[in-house]
Amino acid sequence: MQVQILLLLPIAFLLPPGARSGQIIGGQEAEPHSRPYMAYLHIQHAMKAFKCGGLLVKPNVVLTAAHCQGESITVILGAHNISQWEPSQQVLQVQRQIPHPQYNDTHDDNDIMILQLQGEAHRNKYVDFIKLPATKRRVRPKTKCSVAGWGRTDPRSKQTTGTLQEAHMVVMEDANCSETLLDYDAATMMCVGDPDKGSISSKGDSGGPLVCGGKAQGIVSWGPEDGNPPDVYTRVSTFVPWIKETMRKLQG
């Protein structure tokens, strides 16, 4: 059984049924504004609210996980401490949510979504884009990457952190996930997180980027129910043609 990785807000909002809160375990506080591509998503769905991560790729385009859909989404860019207002923050509403047309919410396959913002982000030292990988270019196993998010830092507590946390991750062989996770699809998913190094493994915000060599190679998607690594990330390189074609249409 797989469980989507979603995050609790600092106050007692409810998560969608079956959701698991995200967490950065064994990580550390990120240097403020060292990841200017990071987006914080506040999502409203019916009477519930939850949050996800995202990544800025164009002035009016954020990528995230398809399971982060909601009735309305507010995007905050340029944030470090999300629990308070910072002059660096830019707040934008989402005009259009475009999940991948083959997204399967049962198996979390093709778990990627494009968000078109109602305005354009102003690029500066606090807010900037992240590069996408080459089409279908795979990350080699044992590659060291990083992930960041505003989720829990202690698996025994529901307390979330206001400041952006980060952790190093290791890309694993696909077999590490396919042998234990029935819904793992190596064509669209990445296996990330060494089970022998649990102290530095992490589960970042759903929709947040896995960064390898300065490029967004993965998007946090789901993981095993026991909460132990490895976790599953959407393989961004598989979807680059769809991303570019969709963005071209959005730009008119």
Residues annotated catalytic, as ranges: 67, 111, 206
DSSP code of 131?
B
Cβ atoms within 10 Å, residue 175: 12
In which residue are the tokens 């529901």 written?
A: 158
Tokens of 45: 């769905």
- Reading the block at residue 184, the tokens are 């793992």
Q: Please, are residues 233 and 220 in contact by the beta-carbon 8 Å criterion?
A: yes
Q: Whole-angstrom Cα distance, residue 186 to residue 43?
A: 29
CA-to-CA distance for 126 and 61, rounded, in angstroms?
16
CA 222/CA 65 separation, integer angstroms: 10
Structure token digits, residue 214: 């300065």
- Angle among Cα 150, 153, 155 to the nearest 5 degrees reads 125
**DSSP SS3 for 114:** strand
Report the residue count for the chain: 252
Any idea which residue has 């669209």 for tokens? 188
End-to-end alpha carbon distance in the chain: 41
Q: How far apart are CA 149 and CA 205, in angstroms?
A: 5
Q: Residue 226: how many CB atoms within 10 A of its CB?
A: 7
